[in-house]
Structure 1
Amino acid sequence: MSVSRKVPEFPVWPQFDDTERAGLTRALDQGQWWRMGGGEVTAFEEEFSAYHGGEYALAVTNGTHALELALQVLGVGPGTEVIVPAFTFISSSQAAQRLGATVVPVDVDPSTYCLDPAATEAAIGPRTKAIMPVHMAGHFADMDALGKLSADSGISLIQDAAHAHGAQWQGRRVAELGSVAAFSFQNGKLMTAGEGGAVIFPEKAQYDEGFLRHSCGRPPGDRGYFHATSGSNFRMTEFSAAVLRAQLARLDVQIALREQRATLLSSLVDEIDGVEAQGRDERCDRNPHYMMMFRVPGITEQRRNELVDALIDRGLPAFAAFRAIYRCPGFWETGAPELSVDQLAARCPNTEAVYADTIWLHHRTLLGTEDQMHLVAEILAETLAAA
């Protein structure tokens, strides 16, 4: 078996067809290209919220702004703390830090890579204002345990659902879990307009405040410049919303295919000596699979990065995992806890292992054929053996 063999091309991403073209033309022909004069953003909010079992969706400029806006509505600001997973994309922490809050990184489960409830409970302090579980790669964090912790402590939950469009936890969709949820539509996400984000609020009062703050504090229909709150301009354009309406319409079909392919590929990967696919909690009964993630336990970060390069050379869209947020210089610029990197690392042993030995494949991999899933596993095994 030749180690130079490459996998055939996977489906491209982003995907689009005449539905997106028609939506863009529809938005163009309105003659009003921002949300206050057009209808695409409002229609998208209604469709996206209903799809996730909610009522109060607010479309915004990107996923980072979605988190920042949601946190602000929940009262996060100077003097407060926000608990986030130590293993996540850094927007999860920076959204809170930019509001003047202190971020407390907490360890993750070594199988699902999601926020550990026991470590979260141990990290709660008198200034804790919010807990932010990240549904890593589309797999829900333990929302039963975290929901109980939130109810018992009175601390708000905010779901970072940037990877979790269409996910379900014990039959319940993201907006049916009773907490604020923030989504991203960045170019690599499961549905995309290049950039974009959304927040789904469980309460209308939260939505109303979010609307004010995402529109420079200006009430809908205001003609006298009565800016009722502080805020910024996080408004989504009509063109982005038109594209996202088309993207949402094909999401179910894509999720169904990725679920099939991920089941097969995970079983194949687990058969490779020294490789472990991301685990699956049976309560997460619909995983949209933003990434196909797997670990090579015991490998060094340098060797992992060399393995990623080798997989790319073989035609796989492979990436190194996110760094632990406390190992990024940007984390320490503002809003960091009064602990050293070594102290945080000692508190987060699972994160230390996962960030250094994990690889992920772009979700377009899981839109490929069954034969391609077998070939992916074969290439991974061959590349590891050659290394």
Structure 2
Amino acid sequence: MTTPLTAPQFPEWPQYDDAERTALVRALEQGQWWRMGGGEVDAFEREFAAFHGGGHALAVTNGTHALELALQVLGVGPGDEVIVPAFTFISSSQAAQRLGATAVPVDVDLGTYNLDPAAAEAAITPRTKAIMPVHMAGQIADLDALGKISERTGVPLLQDAAHAHGAEWRGRKVGELGSVAAFSFQNGKLMTAGEGGLVLFADEEGRDHGFLRHSCGRPPTDIRYLHATSGSNFRLNEFSASVLRAQLARLGSQVETRERRAALLAPLLAAVPGVVPQSRDERATRVPHYMAMFRVPGIGEERRNALVAELVRRGLPAFVVFRAVYRTNGFWETGAPALSVDELAERNPNTELIHSEGIWLHHRTLLADEDAVRAIPGIIAAALESV
């Protein structure tokens, strides 16, 4: 492979046009800028639920709050345990820890980087209140196996779908999969308003409970400050919702583009000596590709970090992958299991490999033209030779 003399051009992110400008003016001119008086948040919730095949949507301030709120609705609190992937962004574990629960990290599959169902089942105890599969890079976790575990044990699933806007499993959209799902609209996500989040509940009762908790315990029709439950202020504002409505309108076409580009890139990456791309579960019938992920087995963390720096120097938007959650100071502040880092590392061998060998490319690379995508493997091959 040859490296181009100049770096390929990749689209900027976030993307916007007159649709967002019009939406912001519409939100401005309605004269009410919070969800209790305006119409943008309500409309966005309806549109997002419809796009994802159903469910009952509740928009919130960010993806971390979406997870925290969903766990609270599921009854998670002090003394409980929540099973999370050891390889994930730390919001997955901290959402449980901030409720006073213990986050229990379990290993992931070395191919898909998703929660290992057998490891999750082995970690269930009488204190387990939820299992949180993370759909890593938009690749839906094995919901067939996890669903059976949930049915057998009575432990509910909470899908961390922060990477999975528009994803499908066996032709079914996230809103048709029967369990609660939480989304993020942070600046780098597949649709964004800078920040924002959403919980997609399977039933209206869960959504109503979530509404109370996200609005300081206050029912939507309350005018006498009769707070029915405890809660916090996780309400999304009207301006963010108006932008997200515009973002949602182009999400489908962007997912289609990324699917085509990912199908082009994956075999080219696999042909680079030493590179192993994230694998795709054949049951995932639509993957939105939040990241293009790969490992370089045996590279080690220090050289991997040098490789990422070299890729960035050569014009690729490359990043190191998430650390194992137990290898961060924040994980140990509260709600950590009674195990050492070394003990958790021994229990999570795949996570140990991924977090020290993994690299991801921003999803905007998969919105580029085919020539730019074809240039990526050559850049990676040349960078590998230089570090």
Instruction: Please name the residue that 2:339 is paired with.
Output: 339
Contact 1:80–1:128 under 8 Å retained in 2: yes
Distance 1:54 1:334 in 2: 36
Instruction: Please name the residue that 1:107 is paired with.
Output: 107
Amino acid at match of 1:198: L
Provide, for residues 38-85 of structure 1, a one-character-per-residue CA deviation record: whole Å limited to 9, x for no partner.
000000000001111123100000000000000000000001000000
Instruction: Please name the residue that 1:62 is paired with.
Output: 62
Instruction: Please name the residue that 2:265 is paired with.
Output: 265
| Residues 35-114 of structure 1 aligned to structure 2 (within 5 Å) | 35-114=35-114
Contact 1:27–1:33 under 8 Å retained in 2: yes
Instruction: Please name the residue that 2:149 is paired with.
Output: 149
Instruction: Please name the residue that 1:286 is paired with.
Output: 286
Contact 1:62–1:186 under 8 Å retained in 2: yes
Distance 2:242 2:4 in 1: 43
Instruction: Please name the residue that 2:297 is paired with.
Output: 297
Aligned residues: 387
Deviation at 1:8, TM superposition (A): 2.4
Contact 1:216–1:231 under 8 Å retained in 2: yes
What TM-score do the two structures reach when normalised by structure 1?
0.99
Instruction: Please name the residue that 1:209 is paired with.
Output: 209
Contact 2:4–2:379 under 8 Å retained in 1: no
Distance 2:113 2:251 in 1: 24
Deviation at 1:122, TM superposition (A): 0.6
Instruction: Please name the residue that 2:182 is paired with.
Output: 182
Secondary structure, counterpart of 1:84 in structure 2: strand
Contact 1:4–1:314 under 8 Å retained in 2: no
Deviation at 1:203, TM superposition (A): 1.2
Provide, for residues 198-253 of structure 1, a one-character-per-residue CA deviation record: whole Å limited to 9, x for no partner.
00000111111100000000001211000000000000000000000000000011
What TM-score do the two structures reach when normalised by structure 2?
0.99
The CA RMSD measured in Å over matched residues stands at 0.9
Amino acid at match of 2:349: P
Runs of 4+ aligned residues of structure 1 deviating over 2 Å after TM superposition are 1-6
Contact 1:46–1:55 under 8 Å retained in 2: no
Identical aligned residues as a percent: 70
Amino acid at match of 1:184: S
Distance 2:53 2:214 in 1: 23
Contact 1:293–1:359 under 8 Å retained in 2: yes
Secondary structure, counterpart of 1:226 in structure 2: coil
Contact 2:3–2:378 under 8 Å retained in 1: no
Secondary structure, counterpart of 1:182 in structure 2: strand
Secondary structure, counterpart of 2:120 in structure 1: helix
Instruction: Please name the residue that 2:230 is paired with.
Output: 230
Question: Gaps (5+ residues) in structure 1?
Answer: none
Question: Gaps (5+ residues) in structure 2?
Answer: none
Amino acid at match of 1:254: Q
Deviation at 1:106, TM superposition (A): 0.2
Contact 1:5–1:314 under 8 Å retained in 2: no
Amino acid at match of 1:226: L
Contact 2:147–2:157 under 8 Å retained in 1: yes
Secondary structure, counterpart of 2:285 in structure 1: coil
